[in-house]
């Protein structure tokens, strides 16, 4: 996940030392794979208007271009072909130093001197497009000579490429990362979400869940007054820095909320959804859906993965037609278009394992599926919806939320865990004050009540990785250790009372083996897993210990006696003329807990 420093600073106060922030993220378990500096080397780049384009004799891949950057005509030799007279493009004049320490100097090509370079987004380090020049015509304040950084609102920034652990659903959001940093820098994370306000009106939409085990919750915001246009430049920049492409203001607001809060949302064009209805059900065997990438996908068919029975979850309209692959990708039939004026915004919680299996079987991975597979913060659906509305209102001032529709399925039960100070010391070997433990847990959104020498911790849905009971207690202590810093824990060297010595049981086994071998017996090693028939020969009618995943179905019972194996070994020896050979075995046997000891 890519996290920009400017975005993080909107959510938490951070020091100016980039190295310290990187080391802190690493220490918190949010490993930084790399840091990219953006916005540097652009101070000399200006906007230029293309006034003339001329072919160069003997050259079919470059052209002579006359531009005006505010100081009169300037001759440039350019190889890009995606622009025409009248376009506004970025110009790096002679003397400029672009990102990567690329210095611009006068160059002569085919006898024509070039006094600068016209640039693509990739050459400027502000985009991945390298197919041609960056065209700036759509910007309202575009004019020859305007500084590119001023036109695009670019400031120097740093992008942290973070690899969150698979069991950290909260770390797949900017807010989750900010909370971790806040705990370490003794700051307070700032949640920009507001309260969802329903403006009211004449709602026509509805929401239902048919397969309650696949979808724990479905919220649908019915929104009118939408005007599809470009997003504000600052929002586009943040999406681009996070590795996502800006599409339009509606889709961009949805993606921004997902990156900021970890809650994927999906907007549908209300006019393209039959009955203005969104429902969730299991896909039928062989059902076909054309997703936003233009691919027709066949659903409901078992896959090769372990436990994949072909269960897929789909979003359906009022005619029960699938219009979206739940938690992964929307359908092409209801995507946002330039004509869209009313939107149905879907916010949901889907079963993580179902999303993971569908995504793997179909070979379809998305930013949304990455988050749904790990479990999203279902308690924060309203805040995510409110944040979407605030962002979209920047470009749609007439936007209204007519209604908020809800449907409920089966949600995970969140644990409440009692944690004592002695539990922390016992597991970590370091005494950490109880109020400090409480501060760490509150920083990651837990609700903590201090009672005497113990904490009562209510786990939020943003941390579905924390389990119930004793395992959950260990999970919480691990979180405390992580936020406290493993480097600060006291180091201890494990010791043993008698290293290298044999226990009484080991000594007895060796003595018995030595005596048997001294008598001339041969040691046998027979199978620990036997058939039910062999078990019945010595323990008929008794409970058995059955192995769930045996290598062979006929060897699935853990033996209660070694006698049957030894008898069969002796019979094989007798068949080969060794009937007088005495054998013995010292091995493991087990009895079912319901069987009384012999």
Q: Are 181 and 368 in contact (CB under 8 A)?
A: no
For residues 190 and 497, the model is more confident at 190
Q: How far is CA 393 from CA 357, 397, 572, in A?
A: 37, 5, 84
Q: CATH for 416-488, among 3.30.56.10, 1.10.940.10, 3.30.70.580, 2.40.110.10?
A: 3.30.56.10
Among residues 169, 112, 133, 168, the alpha carbon closest in space to that of 49 is found at 133
Confidence of residue 598 (pLDDT cuts 50, 70, 90): low
Residue pLDDT, tens place only, 524-571 = 999 999 998 998 998 888 888 998 888 888 899 999 999 999 999 999
- Rounded average pLDDT over 207-236: 95
Which conformational region is residue 429 in: left (phi greater than 0), alpha (psi within -120 to 50 degrees), or beta? left
Q: How far is CA 297 from CA 288, 307, 358, 368, in A?
A: 5, 20, 11, 18
Q: For residues 102 and 96, what is the distance between their CA atoms, to the nearest angstrom?
A: 8
- Rounded average pLDDT over 486-514: 85
Domain boundaries, the chain: 2-38+156-184, 46-152, 206-408, 416-488, 504-584
CATH architecture assignment, domain 46-152: Beta Barrel (2.40)
Above 90 in pLDDT, residue 140? no
The CATH fold assigned to 206-408 is Phenylalanyl-tRNA Synthetase; Chain B, domain 3 (3.50.40)
Tokens of 21: 């922030």
DSSP output for 436-499? HHHHHHHHTT-EEEEETTEEEEEPPGGGTTS-SHHHHHHHHHHHHHHHH-GGGSPP-----SST
What mean pLDDT value characterizes the chain?
92
| CATH classification (class only), 2-38+156-184 | alpha beta
Tell me whether domains 46-152 and 206-408 share a fold: no
Q: For residues 468 and 379, what is the distance between their CA atoms, to the nearest angstrom?
A: 18
CATH architecture assignment, domain 504-584: 2-Layer Sandwich (3.30)
Element (DSSP H or E) covering residue 38: strand 31-38
- Rounded average pLDDT over 323-332: 95
Above 80 in pLDDT, residue 300? yes
Write down the pTM of the prediction.
Answer: 0.76
Tokens 């918190």, residue?
28
* Strand 277-282, strand 206-209: pairing: parallel
Q: For residues 193 and 460, what is the distance between their CA atoms, to the nearest angstrom?
A: 17
Q: For residues 382 and 233, what is the distance between their CA atoms, to the nearest angstrom?
A: 26
For residues 217 and 503, the model is more confident at 217
Residue pLDDT, tens place only, 480-494 = 999 999 999 998 777
Confidence of residue 594 (pLDDT cuts 50, 70, 90): confident
Residue pLDDT, tens place only, 67-100 = 999 999 999 999 999 999 999 999 999 999 988 8
Which alpha helices (DSSP H) does 106-248 contain, by range? 121-124, 148-152, 174-184, 233-241
Q: For residues 90 and 81, what is the distance between their CA atoms, to the nearest angstrom?
A: 15
Residue pLDDT, tens place only, 118-130 = 999 888 887 767 7
Q: Are 160 and 32 in contact (CB under 8 A)?
A: yes
Q: Could you tell me what percent of the chain has a pLDDT over 90?
A: 78
Q: For residues 543 and 592, what is the distance between their CA atoms, to the nearest angstrom?
A: 6
Mapped onto helix, strand or coil, the DSSP state of residue 539 is: helix
Q: Are 117 and 92 in contact (CB under 8 A)?
A: yes
Cβ atoms < 10 Å from Cβ of 120: 20
Confidence of residue 498 (pLDDT cuts 50, 70, 90): low
Handedness of CA 430, 434, 439, 442 (dihedral sign): positive
Confidence of residue 499 (pLDDT cuts 50, 70, 90): low
Q: For residues 305 and 314, what is the distance between their CA atoms, to the nearest angstrom?
A: 20
């Amino acid at each position: 996940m890519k996290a920009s420093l400017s975005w993080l600073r909107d959510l938490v106060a951070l020091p100016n030392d980039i190295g310290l922030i990187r080391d802190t993220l690493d220490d918190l378990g949010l490993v930084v794979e790399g840091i990219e500096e953006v916005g540097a080397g652009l101070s000399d780049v200006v906007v230029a208007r293309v006034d003339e384009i001329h072919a160069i004799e003997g050259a079919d891949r470059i052209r002579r271009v006359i531009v005006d950057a505010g100081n009169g005509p300037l001759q440039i030799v350019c190889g890009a072909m995606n622009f025409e007279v009248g376009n506004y493009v970025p110009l790096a004049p002679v003397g400029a130093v672009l990102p990567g320490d690329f210095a611009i100097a006068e160059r002569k090509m085919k006898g024509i001197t070039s006094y600068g370079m016209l640039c693509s987004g990739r050459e400027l380090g502000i985009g991945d497009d390298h197919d041609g020049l960056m065209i700036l015509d759509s910007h309202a304040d575009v004019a020859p000579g305007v500084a590119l950084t001023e036109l695009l609102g670019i400031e120097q920034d740093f992008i942290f490429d973070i690899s969150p652990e698979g069991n950290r659903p909260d770390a797949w959001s900017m807010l989750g990362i900010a909370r971790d940093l806040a705990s370490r820098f003794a700051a307070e994370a700032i949640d920009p979400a507001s309260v969802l306000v329903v403006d009211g009106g004449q709602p026509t939409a509805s929401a239902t869940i048919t397969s309650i085990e696949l979808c724990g919750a479905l919220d649908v915001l019915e929104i009118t007054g939408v005007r599809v246009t470009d997003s504000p430049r600052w929002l586009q920049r943040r999406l681009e820095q996070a590795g996502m492409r800006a599409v339009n203001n509606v889709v961009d607001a949805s993606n921004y909320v997902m990156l900021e809060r970890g809650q994927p949302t999906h907007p549908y064009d209300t006019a393209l959804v039959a009955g203005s209805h969104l429902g969730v059900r299991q896909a039928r065997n062989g059902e076909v859906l054309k997703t936003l990438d233009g691919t027709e996908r066949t659903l409901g068919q078992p896959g090769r993965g372990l436990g994949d029975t072909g269960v897929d979850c789909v979003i359906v309209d009022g005619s029960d037609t699938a219009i979206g692959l739940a938690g992964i990708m929307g359908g092409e039939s209801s995507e946002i278009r330039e004509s869209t004026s009313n939107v149905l915004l879907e916010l949901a919680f889907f079963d993580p394992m179902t999303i993971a299996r569908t995504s793997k079987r179909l070979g379809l991975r998305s930013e949304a599926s990455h988050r749904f597979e790990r479990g999203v913060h279902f308690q924060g659906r309203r805040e995510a919806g409110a944040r979407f509305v605030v962002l979209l209102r920047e470009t749609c001032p007439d936007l209204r939320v007519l209604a908020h529709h809800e449907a409920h399925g089966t949600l995970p039960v969140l644990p409440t865990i009692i944690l004592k100070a002695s539990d922390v010391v016992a597991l970590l070997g370091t005494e950490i004050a109880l109020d400090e433990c409480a501060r760490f847990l509150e920083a990651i959104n837990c609700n903590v009540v201090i009672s005497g020498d113990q904490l009562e911790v209510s786990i939020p849905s943003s941390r579905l990785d924390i389990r119930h009971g004793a395992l959950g207690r260990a999970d919480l202590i691990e979180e405390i250790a992580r936020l406290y810093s493993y480097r600060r824990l006291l180091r201890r060297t494990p010791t043993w009372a008698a290293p290298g010595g044999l226990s009484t049981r080991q000594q007895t086994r060796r003595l018995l083996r030595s005596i048997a071998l001294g008598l001339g017996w041969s040691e046998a090693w027979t199978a620990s897993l036997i058939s039910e028939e062999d078990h019945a020969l010595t323990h008929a009618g008794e409970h058995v210990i059955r192995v769930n995943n045996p290598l062979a179905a006929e060897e699935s019972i853990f033996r209660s006696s070694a006698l049957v194996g030894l008898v069969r070994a002796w019979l094989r020896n007798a068949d080969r003329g060794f009937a007088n050979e005495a054998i013995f075995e010292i091995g493991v046997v087990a009895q079912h807990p319901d069987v009384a000891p012999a």
